[in-house]
């Protein structure tokens, strides 16, 4: 029972996110409802699971994933992952409530919540992974969703930059992590988490331990924004505040430290671990603390303080002591509660005043007293004030540094650094509260501030209450949960830790007092400095990892290619193609050495076939010679070649190919015709070609002749060796019995090799969308914008007396009438082709292109405006529907426990029609059909639409960014 609950928790957010696209943009509340319901359900289910893992038990279930590689999809729940489930779902609920009040009214929340749900799902998948490869998969998924959410307001350049930086850093870290876990898997001989966790000694003694550790730590440090990869996190503050509260304080950045603790039993304990993890953690703790103290932006302050607190957690895990691990886990929870609450409070301040600048904000406690009180409680927790949760984990931290017993120098340094770090934490907490809520009341805000709505304060308040409850009654509130999580990491050998508010007068308390004095002193000192010398730029720019990163990026994407361009012989396409041709020729000649023609294997020559290809040859050479000055003629001649190929296919027993060739040929010709108009006119001049040009042409003719001869010889040789014994035999034998189709070609495409076809239609989709994107900003040149001569003539005719008397018909009246009458026939024929595809020549491709032709002919006859006023075609939806149908058909095979895209037959009984064989391949073909219609009509329609555009405005200096 528990196992199925775990599965439900994981699947729920993904399913919920699938329902969201069906909610229209206006219905804000409904998408909010889906989000809140999902997160709440997840939370309830999570809570119900606690008894199952309370006593150190592990829930585990495995599904076959890729048996050939020995991979299983394993869901594994122990105390640590349960704790994370609680954080993800619990804070998820609060963030959802908060977001629905925070996000501006005019923004549709549909996309936002869809992303947030998928993020939630992938985060859950990450912590539930019982297989390390699967873990990396979800890890990268969270990076991707973080990219989408940081860039949610993609209109802003800073958001786009931040999203790109975050993705580059975290996804690169994910790749390093993949390498790391593969090394671990190699050492242990299994990718199963339990197997790896059981092999601690074996891993640490292995020579690959250090490289594996380095790779895993790179992943951890990038994700948890540890120095020197910390720079993406402050940038990521361009995300909407709910995202910052959820991803960048409570969950996503915690994934890194989660992994650190997950692998703690096997990787920790070595001195490499101590110095790397402990050192980086300490550095991040200090860098983050100082960074936070010197920020002017409220959210940036919180971001740096997050870096600092994550550094603390990392360091605690890095010390390698058992108490350190306990403190790390405890602080993960505490930090998540107070930081999420602070982010939301900062968002509320931003929402109400319109600014996050600490220098402009002041005295808000008079204006929004409730928010101020809650924020003060959370900040106090962050600073480590007694009676709040931050105090307890800080005391534990001090106790750990006091008991590290490594060597005298590190011990003493550790204690002092700990006091400094805690002092910084106090300083920026005081600054946050002091600058925002205290001081004189300001009124010069972009908006007139007031107390935010009750539902927006609710999550902040609840989290602040948790801070207080944990701080007052730690053993009661969090004792069991912490115990379960700690047991999951440390096993039975738990260290002695004492969860209570008052430990008596001891050294940690003394250190706390010192830290408070230090923090308050720092705050007062800098205020005194500002009062004396005025505001100065903070000396934070001493190391700008961000700048180094940007330089590096610039080097890789700009300097390096430029250098490559210099060492390559030429940047001209012609030269490059020439080199490719020559190399290909050389290789072909080289491989042809020693080849001899065996016995002649002939089918008799048919003179008509020969004559047809004489025409074909003339067409090809004609097209080649006319393509420069007579484009239309060259196009027609190319079409001629295509038709002859089509006839050849029929001749050589390939009706399917002939049909596809004919249809594609037609569509391609229309396509190029549509494009022809926008190319500059090229008129043959009498000017004699230069000597250089003549030389080039002669050289190219020689190369073309050589390549042509080579291809002919090659083709002839190949045809002398017809492949016997190929896999076709299998297809021919199995098509009818196992796939139930008579048309073997179609069966291969939609059944035997359906995965290839899925790839192919994806290529089509990518091309269609690229075409859309490329033409969005296209502006026709002014000289090709005018009407064609035929249209001009028609316009003149319309001005005559006859026209005024109503005697002149519409433009292209008779053809358009015929075409309109033909359109249903086209559609019918397309459906006919589709339905018979499995048994007779036809199928999804042919049918899709037929329908596209119906459409494009209609466009040609009546013009874009007429068609679109009457017919709502949404090619992008067709594409999406098609892809979804194809993938869903493939996935449906899982229902019967078979691999992706396995097809199956069934019988369907319908009244009147009787028994109808149903093959899942038919649905796959339906997907192909829809994708082909969508993609090809999208390409054609977008191109046809260019006639409706205004010409490029050359005079304007800034290019217009608007699309259609």
Partner 1 sequence: MELILSLAIGILGGSGVWLLLRPRTFQVIIGLTLISYAINLFIFSIGGLRTGADPILEKGLTDISHYADPLPQALVLTAIVIGFATTALFLVVALASRGQADNDHVDGEDGPA
Site for partner 1 in 732-791 (CB under 8 A): 732-733, 735-736, 741-745, 748-749, 753, 756-757, 760, 763-764, 767-768, 770-771, 774-775, 777-781
Kindly state the smallest distance separating residue 264's Cβ from partner 1, in Å. Answer: 50
**H or E stretch covering 65:** strand 59-66
Based on its alpha-carbon atoms, the radius of gyration of the chain, rounded to whole angstroms, reads 35
- Residue among 420 and 749 whose Cβ is closer to partner 1: 749
Q: Which residues make Cβ contacts (< 8 Å) with residue 683, sequence separation at least 6?
A: 629
Cα 197 to its chain centre, rounded Å, is: 31
Q: Is 633 in the site for partner 1 (CB under 8 A)?
A: no
- Whole-number minimum distance, CB 849 to partner 1, in Å? 8
C-alpha distances in angstroms, 530 versus 428, 440, 527?
A: 16, 17, 5
> Which one of residues 25, 366, 529, 628 is an interface residue with partner 1 (CB under 8 A)?
628
Q: How many CB atoms lie within 10 A of CB 100?
A: 21
Tokens 């050998």, located at residue = 493
> Of 827-866, which residues contact partner 1 (CB under 8 A)?
839-841, 845
Q: Please report, as residue ranges, which positions from 691 to 710 form the binding site for partner 1 (by CB under 8 A).
A: 692-693, 700-701, 703-705, 707-710
| Shortest distance, position 872 Cβ to partner 1, whole Å | 23
Query: Interface residues for partner 1 in 444-483 (CB under 8 A)?
Result: none
Judged by CB, which is closer to partner 1: 557, or 709?
Answer: 709
Restricted to residues 634-673, the positions that interact with partner 1 (CB under 8 A) are 634-635, 638, 641-642, 645, 648-649, 651-657, 660-661, 664, 667-668, 671-672
Nearer to partner 1, 201 or 566 (CB): 566
Considering the complex, what minimum distance in angstroms separates the CB of residue 20 from partner 1? 31
What CA–CA distance (Å, rounded) separates 384 from 623? Answer: 81
When asked if residue 50 is in the footprint of partner 1 (CB under 8 A), the reply is no
Spatial neighbors of 667 by CB under 8 A, at least 6 apart, are: 849, 852, 853, 856, 936, 940
Binding mask 185-214 for partner 1 (x = CB under 8 A): ------------------------------
DSSP letters of 803-871? Answer: HHTT-S--TTHHHHHHHHHHHHHHHHHHHHHHHHTTTSS--HHHHHHHHHHHHHHHHHHHHHHHHHHH-
Sign of torsion over alpha carbons 910, 916, 919, 923: negative
Binding residue for partner 1 (CB under 8 A) from 407, 536, 686, 726? 726
Region binding partner 1 by CB under 8 A among candidate stretches 183-191, 247-255, 325-333, 674-682 = 674-682
| Binds partner 1 (CB under 8 A): choice among 627, 647, 803, 893 | 627
Total residue length of the chain: 964
DSSP string, 625-676: HHTTT-HHHHHHHHHHHHHHHHHHHHHTT-HHHHHHHHHHHHHHHHHHHHHH
Instruction: Please report how close the Cβ of residue 963 comes to partner 1 at its closest, in angstroms.
Output: 13
* Closest CA relative to residue 266, chosen from 218, 337, 208: 208
Q: Does 911 bind partner 1 (CB under 8 A)?
A: no
> What gap in Å lies between CA 907 and CA 918, rounded to an integer?
6
Task: Indicate whether 729 belongs to the interface with partner 1 (CB under 8 A).
Answer: yes
Q: Of 1, 567, 605, 912, which lies in the binding site for partner 1, with binding defined by CB under 8 A? A: 605
Instruction: State which of residues 723, 805, 821, 895 lies at the interface with partner 1 (CB under 8 A).
Output: 723
The answer to the question of residue 961 lying near partner 1 (CB under 8 A) is no
Nearer to partner 1, 550 or 839 (CB): 839
In three-state secondary structure terms, 359 is coil
Q: 41, 17, 43: which is closest to 118 by C-alpha?
A: 17
Q: In whole angstroms, give the CA distance from residue 832 to residue 854.
A: 14
Using CB under 8 A, which residues numbered 71 to 100 contact partner 1?
none
Q: Which residue, among 399, 408, 416, 224, has the nearest Cα to 324 in the 3D structure?
A: 399
Which residues inside 478-517 make contact with partner 1, applying CB under 8 A? none
291/741 with CB nearer partner 1: 741
State which of positions 922-951 bind partner 1 (CB under 8 A).
932, 935-936, 939, 943
Copy the structure tokens of residue 97. Answer: 């409530």
Residue 510 or 608 with smaller CB distance to partner 1:
608
Using rule CB under 8 A, residue 876 touches partner 1: no
Q: Which two tokens stand for residue 377?
A: 């409680």
Minimum Å distance from CB 791 to partner 1?
Answer: 21
Q: Which is nearer to partner 1, 366 or 677 (CB)?
A: 677
Residue 595 lies near partner 1 (rule: CB under 8 A): no
């Amino acid at each position: 029972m528990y196992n199925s609950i775990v599965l439900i928790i994981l699947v729920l957010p993904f399913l919920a996110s699938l329902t969201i696209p069906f909610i229209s943009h206006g219905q804000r509340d409904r998408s909010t409802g889906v989000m809140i319901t999902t997160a709440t359900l997840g939370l309830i289910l999570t809570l119900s699971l606690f008894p199952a893992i309370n006593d150190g038990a592990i829930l585990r279930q495995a599904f076959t994933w890729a048996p050939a590689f020995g991979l299983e999809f394993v869901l594994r729940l122990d105390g640590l992952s349960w704790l994370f489930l609680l954080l993800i779902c619990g804070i998820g609920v609060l963030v959802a409530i908060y977001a629905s009040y925070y996000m501006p009214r005019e923004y549709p929340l549909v996309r936002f919540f869809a992303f947030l749900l998928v993020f939630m799902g992938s985060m859950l998948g990450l912590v539930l992974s019982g297989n390390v490869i699967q873990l990396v998969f979800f890890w990268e998924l969270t990076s991707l969703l973080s990219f989408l959410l940081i860039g949610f307001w993609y209109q802003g350049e800073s958001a786009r930059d931040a999203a790109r930086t975050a993705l580059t850093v975290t996804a690169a870290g994910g790749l390093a992590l993949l390498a790391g876990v593969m090394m671990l898997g190699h050492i242990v001989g299994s990718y199963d988490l339990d197997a790896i966790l059981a092999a601690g000694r074996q891993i640490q003694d292995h020579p690959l331990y250090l490289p594996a550790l380095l790779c895993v730590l790179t992943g951890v440090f990038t994700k948890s924004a540890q120095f020197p990869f910390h720079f993406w996190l402050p940038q990521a503050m361009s995300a909407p505040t709910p995202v910052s509260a959820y991803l960048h304080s409570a969950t996503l950045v915690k994934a890194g430290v989660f992994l650190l603790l997950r692998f703690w039993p096997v990787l920790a304990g070595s001195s490499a671990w101590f110095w790397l993890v402990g050192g980086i953690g300490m550095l991040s703790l200090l860098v983050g603390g100082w960074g936070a103290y010197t920020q002017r932006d409220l959210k940036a302050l919180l971001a740096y303080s997050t870096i600092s607190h994550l550094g603390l957690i990392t360091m605690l895990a890095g010390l390698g002591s058992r108490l350190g691990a306990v403190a790390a886990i405890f602080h993960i929870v505490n930090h998540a509660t107070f930081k999420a609450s602070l982010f939301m409070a900062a968002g509320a301040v931003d929402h109400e005043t319109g600014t996050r600048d600490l220098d402009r904000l002041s005295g808000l406690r008079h204006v929004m007293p409730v928010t101020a009180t809650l924020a003060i409680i959370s900040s106090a927790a962050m600073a480590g004030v007694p009676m709040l949760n931050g105090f307890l984990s800080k005391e534990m931290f001090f106790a750990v540094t006091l008991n590290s017993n490594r060597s005298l120098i590190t011990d003493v340094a550790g204690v002092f650094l700990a006091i400094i770090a805690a002092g910084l934490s106090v300083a920026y907490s005081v600054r946050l509260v002091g600058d925002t809520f205290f001081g004189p009341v300001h009124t010069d805000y972009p908006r007139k501030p007031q107390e935010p709505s009750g539902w927006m304060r609710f999550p902040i308040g609840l989290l602040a209450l948790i801070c207080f409850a944990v701080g007052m009654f730690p053993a009661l509130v969090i004792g069991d949960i912490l115990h379960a999580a700690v047991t999951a990491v440390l096993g039975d050998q738990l260290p002695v830790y004492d969860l209570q508010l008052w430990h008596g007068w001891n050294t940690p308390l003394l250190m706390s007092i010192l830290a408070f004095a230090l923090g308050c002193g720092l705050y007062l000192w800098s205020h005194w400095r500002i009062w004396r010398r005025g505001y100065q730029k903070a000396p934070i720019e001493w190391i700008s990892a961000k700048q180094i990163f940007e330089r590096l990026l610039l080097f890789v994407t700009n300097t390096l290619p430029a250098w490559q361009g210099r060492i390559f012989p030429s940047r001209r396409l012609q030269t490059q193609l020439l080199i490719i041709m020559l190399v290909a020729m050389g290789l072909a000649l080289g491989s042809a050495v020693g080849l001899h023609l065996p016995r002649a294997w002939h089918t008799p020559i048919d003179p008509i076939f020969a004559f047809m290809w004489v025409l074909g040859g003339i067409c090809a050479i004609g097209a080649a010679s006319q393509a420069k000055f007579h484009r239309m003629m060259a196009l027609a001649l190319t079409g001629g070649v295509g038709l002859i190929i089509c006839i050849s296919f029929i001749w050589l027993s390939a009706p399917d190919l002939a049909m596809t060739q004919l249809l594609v040929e037609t569509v391609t010709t229309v396509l190029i015709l549509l494009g022809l108009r926008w190319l500059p006119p090229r008129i043959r001049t009498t000017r004699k070609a230069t000597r250089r040009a003549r030389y080039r042409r002669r050289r190219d003719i020689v190369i073309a002749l050589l390549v042509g001869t080579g291809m002919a010889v090659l083709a002839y040789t190949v045809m002398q060796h017809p492949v016997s014994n190929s896999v076709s035999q299998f297809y021919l034998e199995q098509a009818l019995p196992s796939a139930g189709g008579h048309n073997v070609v179609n069966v291969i495409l939609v059944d035997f090799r359906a995965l290839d076809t899925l790839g192919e239609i994806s290529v089509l989709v990518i091309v269609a969308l690229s075409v859309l994107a490329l033409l969005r900003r296209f502006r026709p040149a002014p000289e090709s914008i005018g009407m064609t001569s035929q249209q001009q003539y028609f316009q003149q005719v319309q001005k005559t007396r006859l026209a005024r008397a109503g005697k002149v018909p519409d433009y292209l009246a008779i053809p358009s009438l015929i075409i309109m009458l033909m359109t249903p026939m086209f559609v019918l024929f397309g459906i006919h082709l589709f339905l018979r595809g499995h048994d007779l020549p036809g199928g999804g491709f042919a049918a899709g292109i037929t329908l596209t032709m119906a459409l494009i002919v209609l466009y040609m006859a009546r013009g874009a405006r007429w068609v679109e006023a009457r017919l709502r075609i949404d090619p992008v939806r067709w594409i999406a529907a098609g892809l979804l149908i194809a993938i869903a058909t493939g996935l449906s095979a899982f229902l019967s426990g078979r691999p992706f895209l396995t097809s199956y037959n069934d019988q369907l009984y319908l009244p009147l029609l009787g028994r109808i064989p149903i093959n899942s391949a038919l649905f796959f073909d339906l997907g192909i059909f829809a994708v082909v219609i969508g993609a090809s009509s999208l390409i054609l329609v977008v191109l046809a639409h260019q006639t409706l555009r205004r010409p490029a405005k050359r005079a304007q200096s800034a290019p217009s960014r608007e699309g259609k």
